[in-house]
Structure 1
Amino acid sequence: ESFSNWQRARKLKASYQKKVANKHKDYLHKLTTHLVRQYDVIAIEDLKVKNLQKNHCLAKAIANASWSMFRQMLEYKCERYGKELIVVNPKNTSRICSKCGFNSGAKPLEIREWTCSNCQVHHDRDINAAVNILHQAMPNGQELAVVNS
């Protein structure tokens, strides 16, 4: 009796997990299709997801975000739609001031905003990193647009 209850519960849990996984995958498909249709050039960091997952504080959130799947979908959809995906080195993207280029050094993840000690510009960590990624992707000064989503 208890064994059959355990098996029923196991199957129910598996079906819920599959539903959640399918919702994540559907969301990623919709998001990547939207991005690829809307933009001719997309720039992303070449993040080493396996290394990031070694940080036990971030591992679950990173796994849930499905960064690897997001990148794979972007790669094949850019190819399919004839768009350009530029993958840049993530080194120092959140350390360098996007205005003057000054490297202010490492900052713990808790620091979400900072002011450049060289030019006094105040930065949101993620937006500053996004601008730096675009600067690396388009070094010849082409028109850049940062999309906050």
Structure 2
Amino acid sequence: MTKFLLLFHDFGSKIFTQIEFKSNKVPTDFIELTKLDDYEMYQYIQSGNTYVMTEERLEKENIHFEKLKREKKTWFGFYKKTVTDLLIMPNQEFYYPYESGSYLYLFTKQKITKAEIENWLNREFPSRFGHIDERFEGFENLLNEEDYLIATNHDLQRQFGVIGKKEK
């Protein structure tokens, strides 16, 4: 049995609710349970985790995705490098395969373009140490009031954070 840890967190709040349990279910079953009607799901995979399923394999399996380019400062901020993240587009019965690492699932009723995500990433996380973490700062500049996201962390246990702006 796998140990799961679920955190329910409001944007801008330091308070969260935590539930721990063990289950034989696969992680995507729990993500599927949280999907509300009329919402689109975008899967965001940062460059460090894109080795799990290559772009060539995604193309071969007809998975619609966009390559997101973002500049990232290197140590001490002396240099910049461009990294490529992946955005799996909605309306697909597909979940990017899990391995160690973090994955984001954005649930929204709005259409989000590749350019909007790239601009948001470069504006919110421009520095070497600016990255998506448990505070989820910057998401209020991308998501609407009714939108929410699931952040997962996969290592020895399966951790899920369900984050939103308002109670449903």
TM over 0.5: no
Larger radius of gyration: 1
Superposition TM-score, scaled by structure 2 size: 0.30
Superposition TM-score, scaled by structure 1 size: 0.32
More helix by share: 1
More strand by share: 2
Greater RCO (Cα-Cα under 8 Å, separation 6 or more): 2
